[in-house]
Each structure stands twice: as structure tokens, then as C-alpha cells.
Amino acid sequence: MIPELGFFALILALSLAIIQSVLPLIGAQTGNARFMAVARPAARAQFLFVVLAYACLVTSFLLNDFSVRNVATNSFSQLPAVYRFTASWGSHEGSMLLWTLILAFWTMAVSVLSRRLPEDMAARVIGIMGLISVGFLSFSIFTSNPFERLLPVPMDGRDLNPLLQDPGMVLHPPMLYMGYVGFSVAFAFAIAALLSGKLDAAWARWSRPWTTVAWGFLTAGIALGSWWAYVELGWGGWWFWDPTENASFMPWLAGTALIHSLAVTEKRGVFKAWTVLLAITAFSLSLLGTFLVRSGVLSSVHAFATDPSRGAFILGFLAVVVGGSLLLFALRAPAMASGTRFSAFSRESLLLMNNVVLVSALGSVLLGTLYPLFLDALGMGKISVGAPYFNAVFVPLMVPALFLMAVGPLTRWKGASLPEMVVRLRIAFVVAIVAAVAVPLAAGEFKPWVSVSVGLAVWIAYGVALGFRERLKHGGSLRSLPRGFWGMQLAHLSMAIGIVGMAMVSGYEDQRNVKMAVGDTAQLAGYTFTFKGVEVIEGPNYRAARGHLTVHPESGSDFALSAEKRIYNAGGMPMTEAGIDYGVFRDIYVAMGEEIEPQVWTVQLFYKPFIDWLWFAAGMMALGGFLAASDRRYRVALKAKDAA
């Protein structure tokens, strides 16, 4: 009964989404206020029914209703309750429903927080988001029904993919989707502006907080995914340039460019067409990412079930949404007047350079991700593009962007003096060069990329410090600085921290693969590992061999580590659960390999310097985004309207 209720709720949500898109869009075009007024209640009702549908799905999972195909293939009676909950989005059908739910949530948020918007603008934005909802709800209902029944009813489920049974996977998909789908708001604003022809600073101001919040979620989501890969895949890696990872990274790059160009459009009224194009691009890449992951056109470590009819549906949807938007853009954008002029050295020009670099980087990732598909489609053979390409192309592209990151925020709008800037930053430059030489030498071995990265990190950090000093030169306290300023500086500083983490771990990580029997020892990076043996553990839905080691550092006290090799009861899939000792300056990471003789195991030992700086930086960056979006000026506008 519950699954049928859920499916019924989905059908009602689809009907409401159609109303939510058709009437307000017609109303806004014809100036019919009654039609426009339908937008908000329809969006809220649609949200309620999608929530109801999702609740039905979760209930089916929690009650172990194996008559539902989705539950039978992705859950298991012995699965712990928290993973039965997360299994609701562990499958293709479930994750598409989560997409829809989060889209409905964002639409609802727009309907609540859009009181200061002109009525026709709000109607258009909600209407366009409704159109996207129509697409995704139809997709679920017609090709990916999460409530499909299964006959005969199996005795037990096939269990959630063990890879997904990890705390990192509890939060990663919702966070990622909050980001992905959140760009639909910026997209809807852009299309609404194109439709109305009112593309002005006010439009940029409305779009900014939504974009920044979505970007913050996406940042956090990507970082959680990276942390999950580090802990769960047992290879000690944190980024693999896998197509699925790239699928989330490309919208992030476009979103980062969008945040910056929105700032210019709001403050100076320039780059309007470009900003609109970026808003369309960021959301199009979210849709493209969904297509790549869901259709199976690219092989990937975590690609899900593949089905050409689903791929065809998403591609058709992609063609309508992206093709339609770009056509609208091509028709309307030429009429948009470019605003005021700015000089060759100004904050505008630096932000333009930032955008050029970010978009080039985005292009390089897109090319590398789709290149195997291009060749295959042209019948030119099968290849895979791996980390060497991305590292060789993407990483050098980031250098100018990072260099400009310190300069941009210190530069005035309209025009600034380059010689004056050189004077202001000369000490920063010297400090950065000293750090670039000293840090790699102190670490024991000079590596060019570590040197460049550390130099850039110090350069950026110095720029952030200088920014605060100049803001406080004429008095005032740190608390009096606007949150927008804080958010930007936090995000920039976090980039410096993240670069140090990436450079140090890439430059100085160390690993060994050793064969160990009880009592054996192995050395790595000044740590002595002693193998204490293996015990067999019965988990809730798996059996594990848990290996115990003690680690003796050169200085400080010994500590114990344990790593597991799990065999899951349903399916018998083996999984590694790494043992990690986290530290500010290094992680010690062990993973169990195979039992090659009785009581003799291969064990992988890793030394990962500064790796946690990466995830700390990502958290700080997301926080910066949220802080910036909560800036007073976005709320002041809201209050002024309320008072009036």
C-alpha cells in the first residue's frame, strides 16, 4: 500500500509541476496577475507531494519491504537502519527521486524567500524550475519508477553496494545534489531575465546568494566524496579524475566562475551576457553530469546500472533544456548592452582573467572526460584518459588563477595603478619566494611543484592578510566587516590551505606493500609498523578479518591501528576498511590486502603528509560561501520591502 501511495504522490506532484510551470509562465508573458499568483502555492504543494513520495520510499526501506524491486536490489534485512535509510538514494531510481526532492526543496525555498522580487520575475523563476521538475518527475514515473513491485517476493534483499556502506556516503549524495540542483536557481533566474529582457544589476544581486549557497554545498559534497574515496577504496588516493568525479567537478568550476562574474555584473553592470551564459553552463553541466553517470556512456568505478532508454530520456531532456536555453541566449543576448568601460588593469579585468582561466580549465576537464567517447563514436578506437592528462593540463592552468587570487581583491574597480600594486605586494612576493625555496628544502627533497604551490599559497595568504589590514586601516573592528568580505577571504585563504595539502601529499607521500606475519615489522617514513595478527569479526551484515598493528613513531608514543577486510553476507563482495591515524601534519594509513598463507597477509602502508588540510580547506571554503550568502545587504533589501 505504501509504495502505491508514493507512486500516486509522484503523479500528483507531476500534475502540480505542470500547473506550476505553465500558468505562471503564461501569466508573466501576458501580464495576467492571477496566473502568476499560482506559482507559489503550486510550488509548495508540489514540494509536499514529492516529500510524501520520498517518505514512502524511505518507509519501504526501513520496513524491509522486499516486494519493492528497489528495496530488494538495494537493501538487506541485516543492513543497519542508517544504511537502510541511505539505501533509499543508493540506487538509480532512488537517487533520481532525491534529485527531484532537492529540486522541489529549492523551488519551495525560492517561493518563500522571493517576496522582494517583482511578481513577474518570481513567477518566471518558479515556472522555469517547475519545467525542470516536470522533466525529472516524468523521468521517474516513466522510466525509473522507484516503487515498482517485484513478483515473486524474494526472501531477502541483495544488499546495498558495500562501497556505499560508509559514513561518508550518508552525507555525500544529498550535499552534492544540493549543489548540483541548487544551480537550477541561478539558471532559472538567467532564463527569466532573458525572457523578460530585464538583465540588470538587480538580477545579479538576486542570483548571487542562491548561487553562492549552491556552490558551498557542491564544495562540501565534492570534498565528502573525496574523503569517502580515501577511506573506502583502500588505495589511499583522494582524487582519481574519474568521469563521475569530473561530472561533479565541472559544475563546480563553472559555478566558481559564475560567482566571480556575478560580482562584476552586480557591482559594475558589465559581463551581462557572459554571466547569463555561465549560469546556463553551470546548470547544463549539472544535467550533463547526471546524464554521464546515469546513462553509462562512460565507464567509471562507480557508474550505476546502465539502460539506453534512460540515457535517451535524459539526453532528450538535456537537448530541450540546454538547447532551448542556448537558443534563447543566442536570440536575446545580442540586444543586451554592455555596460560601462573599465581599464586594462582593474578588478573587472582581473576577474575577467579569472573567468578565462576557470573556463579554460573547465574545457580541459570536459575534453578529457569526453575524449574517449569522441574517439569511440568516430570509430577511432578505445582509450581511457587518466590522471596524467589532467595533471599535465589542468594543474598548470590553475597557476595564473591562483596568482591573480591575491591581486584581485586588492585592486580597485574601474581602474587601478599597476606600479602601485607592485609596491603594495613586493613584500608578499619576497616572502612567497622565500617560502617556495625554504619549505621544500626543509621537507627533505626539493620538488618543483611543491615549491610553486607553497609559494602561491603563501602569496594568497599574504594577500588575504593585506586585505584585512587595508580594510581596518581607518579603524573599525573585525566584526564590523561585512560577511561578504569575510566569506570571500575565508574561501581564498582556504584555497591556500588546500594547495599546501595537495602539494605536500603529492610530493612527499610514501607507501609500501609488505607481506606480514604476526610479529613482523616494517619501516615507512620513520614509522615502525608491527603486525599483531588478525581476528575474525562478525559485523551486522558482514564478516571481517581485522588486522591489528602497532605503530612506533621516531618521537612520541606508540599507537595502535586496525584495518579490516570485509566480506559482505549478501553477494560476498570483499571490501577494505582502512585503518587511519589522522594528524595535523600526516595521516598514517593501513589497508589489508590478501591472506597469502595462513596468518600471513599483504598489508599496504601509507604515509600521507598534510592530507587532512585538503578536507579542512574544503570545509572552510563551503563555510566562506555560506557566510558570504548571509551578507546583510541581501537581507536588508528583504527587510526594506517588508517595512514598506
Partner 1 sequence: MNKRLIMLLPLAVFVVLALFLGKGLFLNPREVPSPFIGRPAPQFALAEVGNPARSFSPKEMLGKVWMLNVWAPWCVSCRQEHGVLMQLKDQGVVIVGLNWKDKDREAAELMARMGTPYVINLEDLDGRVGIDYGVTGTPETFLIDKQGIIRYKQTGPINAEVWTEKLEPRMKEMAK
Question: CB of 239 within 8 A of CB of 150?
Answer: no
| Rounded least distance, CB 598 to partner 1, Å | 12
Which of 159, 631 has the CB closer to partner 1?
A: 159
Q: Which stretch binds partner 1 (CB under 8 A): 116-124, 295-303, 453-461, 575-583?
A: 295-303
| Rounded least distance, CB 597 to partner 1, Å | 12
Which residues lie across from 547 on neighbouring strands?
Answer: 534, 563
Q: Which of 510, 572, 632, 635 binds partner 1 (CB under 8 A)?
A: 572
Which positions ≥6 away from 614 have C-beta within 8 Å? 223, 226, 238, 498, 501, 502, 505
Residue 241 lies near partner 1 (rule: CB under 8 A): no
Residue 322 lies near partner 1 (rule: CB under 8 A): yes
Tell me the helix, strand and coil percentages in the chain, rounded to 5: 65, 10, 20
Q: Which three cell numbers stand for residue 249?
A: 567537478
Residue 308 belongs to what H/E stretch? helix 308-318
| Rounded least distance, CB 357 to partner 1, Å | 19
Among 122, 266, 347, 216, which residue's Cα sits nearest to residue 618? 216
Residue 372 lies near partner 1 (rule: CB under 8 A): yes
In whole angstroms, give the CA distance from residue 250 to residue 185. 17
Q: Which stretch binds partner 1 (CB under 8 A): 84-92, 221-229, 307-315, 499-507?
A: 307-315
Question: CB of 16 within 8 A of CB of 49?
Answer: yes
The b-or-e profile of 292-308 (16+ CB within 10 A means b, else e) is bbbbbbbebeebbeeee
Question: CB of 242 within 8 A of CB of 385?
Answer: no
Residue 571 lies near partner 1 (rule: CB under 8 A): yes
Residue 356 lies near partner 1 (rule: CB under 8 A): no
Q: Which of 284, 494, 569, 604 binds partner 1 (CB under 8 A)?
A: 284
Q: Which of 152, 197, 334, 419 binds partner 1 (CB under 8 A)?
A: 334
Q: Which of 118, 167, 237, 296 binds partner 1 (CB under 8 A)?
A: 296
Q: Which of 31, 82, 305, 308 binds partner 1 (CB under 8 A)?
A: 308
Among 594, 542, 545, 580, which residue's Cα sits nearest to residue 565? 545
Q: Which stretch binds partner 1 (CB under 8 A): 189-197, 217-225, 525-533, 565-573?
A: 565-573
Residue 642 belongs to what H/E stretch? helix 632-643
CA atoms within a 13 Å half-sphere pointing along the CA-CB vector of 104: 31
Q: Which stretch binds partner 1 (CB under 8 A): 59-67, 78-86, 126-134, 297-305?
A: 297-305
Residue 377 lies near partner 1 (rule: CB under 8 A): yes
| Rounded least distance, CB 327 to partner 1, Å | 6
Residue 291 lies near partner 1 (rule: CB under 8 A): yes
3-state secondary structure (DSSP) of residue 587: strand
φ and ψ at 542, to 5 degrees? -155, 165
In whole angstroms, give the CA distance from residue 429 to residue 106. 44
Q: Which of 34, 382, 473, 474 binds partner 1 (CB under 8 A)?
A: 382
Residue 297 lies near partner 1 (rule: CB under 8 A): yes
Question: CB of 244 within 8 A of CB of 300?
Answer: yes
Which of 319, 438 has the CB closer to partner 1?
A: 319
Q: Which of 137, 176, 277, 614 binds partner 1 (CB under 8 A)?
A: 277
In whole angstroms, give the CA distance from residue 607 to residue 406. 32
Which residues in the 120-149 window bind partner 1 by CB under 8 A? Answer: none
Give the binding site for partner 1 (CB under 8 A). 273, 277, 280-281, 284, 291, 295-299, 308, 311-312, 315, 318-319, 322-323, 326-327, 329-330, 333-334, 370, 372-374, 376-377, 382, 571-573
